[in-house]
Amino acid sequence: MTPQQHVPVLLEEALEYLNVRPGGVYVDATLGLGGHSSAIAKKLGGQGKLIAFDRDPDAMSKAQARLEALKEELGAEMPTVQFEPRAFSEAGDAIAKGSLDGLLADFGVSSMQLDEAHRGFSFRSDGPLDMRMDTRSGETAGQVVNEEDENELADLIYEFGEERRSRRIARAIVRARPISTTAELARIISAAAPPMKGDKIHPATRTFQAIRMRVNDELGEIQSLLKSAGSLLKPGGRLVMISFHSLEDRLVKDAFRELGRDKKFTVLTKKPVIAAEQESLRNPRSRSAKLRALEKV
């Protein structure tokens, strides 16, 4: 699927809850391939402003090209776009308080990152153990796999991957070191913890997820965004957040509930919004997506 064909998960639902106002100021905290940003831009008009964050330089480059093409299409109706090539956890430092009409975040790994073998996010094609969203700095998956203490490795696989056989997997990884590729790591995990009856996912899925979340400090990034996001909104402004993992969704749910106790905020989603059956069939990744929304009164 090319960037032009790529359709983000829960796109219509996200736009509905974001309630884009022509001429407003909106943040796409997870630019990715620019799918959400393109849809927001079409509703904003020439007087609007879109601020787009992404710490992945490859994604930023592709999305900039996509939005440049959209500018050719929309002409004077294209909003101003401000690109922020950094983590969304820094939104509170980059944006003035009380200045936003809305902020959208779509957490987790993108389809582009999973599809490119050299990024090392997936075991479905062999590649180096990298997994960094920001390839310019930071610890790689290879460093975590080959240098982490066995007990700490088991703990992170259990905590972030919710993998019950984490100790067995960690022991097998340590015994097999050094490990250099995604396929090699997947084989080691599969041998140590083969599929159990009724399993619908590959036995390496949870461990890969855990390592990726650790490498990119994904939960820490979300916590930082949640601490500042509410203060960035104008009255009537909205936060819309899409999670793909129970730990992510719990952070959003708890933060929204806490903000909702303050009469300045209203939680718009008593239960998370999930993908319709048609979207789930078309895009299996959407099955785990949960959308929550909040409005500043």
In the listed set 193, 215, 237, which residue is the last one of a domain according to the structure? Answer: 215
Whether residues 178 and 59 fall in one domain:
no
Residue 200 located in a structural domain: yes
Q: Where among 183, 215, 247 does a domain terminate?
A: 215
| Structural domain contains residue 251 | yes
Residues 81 and 225 in one domain: yes
- What amino acid is encoded at 166 in this protein? S
Annotated binding site for S-adenosyl-L-methionine: 34-36, 54, 88, 106, 113
Three-class SS string for 162-188? CCCCHHHHHHHHHHHCCCCEHHHHHHH
The per-residue pLDDT for 8 is: 86
- Same structural domain, 244 and 200: no
Residues 195 and 76 in one domain: no
Flag whether 1 is in a domain. no
Q: Is residue 3 part of a domain?
A: no
Residue among 87, 44, 90 at smallest CA distance from 67: 44
What pLDDT is attached to residue 3? 39
Considering the domain architecture, whether residues 42 and 178 belong to the same structural domain is answered as: no
158-172, 187-201, 274-288: range with highest mean pLDDT: 158-172
Please, what is the average pLDDT of the chain? 94
Q: Residue 225 belongs to what domain range? A: 11-112+218-296
Q: Is the per-residue pLDDT at 294 higher than 50?
A: yes
Q: CA distances (Å), 10 to each of 39, 104, 182, 233, in order? A: 12, 12, 30, 22
Mean pLDDT of the 18-25 span: 97
Give pLDDT tens digits for 115-141: 788 898 999 889 999 999 999 999 999
Residue 53 in contact with residue 21, Cβ under 8 Å?
A: no
Q: With respect to residue 207, please indicate whether it lies within any of the assigned structural domains.
A: yes
Residue 163 is assigned to a structural domain of this protein: yes
Q: Report which of 101, 27, 41, 104 is spatially closest to residue 70, judged by C-alpha positions.
A: 41
d(Cα 138, Cα 264) in Å, to the nearest integer?
38
* Residue 6 pLDDT: 59
- Domain shared by 94 and 224, yes or no: yes
Q: What percent of the chain has pLDDT over 70?
A: 98
* Residue 161, domain CATH: 1.10.150.170
What total number of domains does the chain contain? 2
Residue 95 has pLDDT above 60, yes or no: yes
Instruction: Return the pLDDT at 80.
Output: 98
Of 215, 242, 275, the one marking the end of a domain is: 215
Binding residues: 34-36, 54, 88, 106, 113
Q: Are residues 237 and 262 in the same domain?
A: yes
**What CATH number did the domain enclosing 37 receive?**
3.40.50.150
Mutual angle of helices 205-215 and 150-161, in 10-degree steps: 100
292 bridge partner residues: 241
What average pLDDT does this structure show over 206-219? Answer: 96
Do 179 and 230 lie in a common domain? no
Indicate whether 119 belongs to any domain: no
Q: Are residues 47 and 161 in the same domain?
A: no
* Mean pLDDT value of segment 207-211: 96
pLDDT tens-digit series, residues 8-18:
899 999 999 99
The predicted structure's pLDDT at residue 1: 37
22 and 141 fall within a common domain? no
Q: What spatial distance separates the first Cα and last Cα of the chain, rounded to whole Å?
A: 40
Mean pLDDT within 162-183: 97
Encoded tokens for 184: 């090699």
Task: Report pLDDT digits (tens) over 183-204.
Answer: 999 999 999 999 888 788 899 9
Paired strand residues for 242: 106, 291
* Residue 168 resides in a domain: yes
**Does residue 81 sit in the same domain as residue 195?**
no
Could you tell me if 105 and 21 lie in one domain? yes
Task: Give pLDDT, residue 92.
Answer: 96
| Mean pLDDT of the region 18-27 | 98
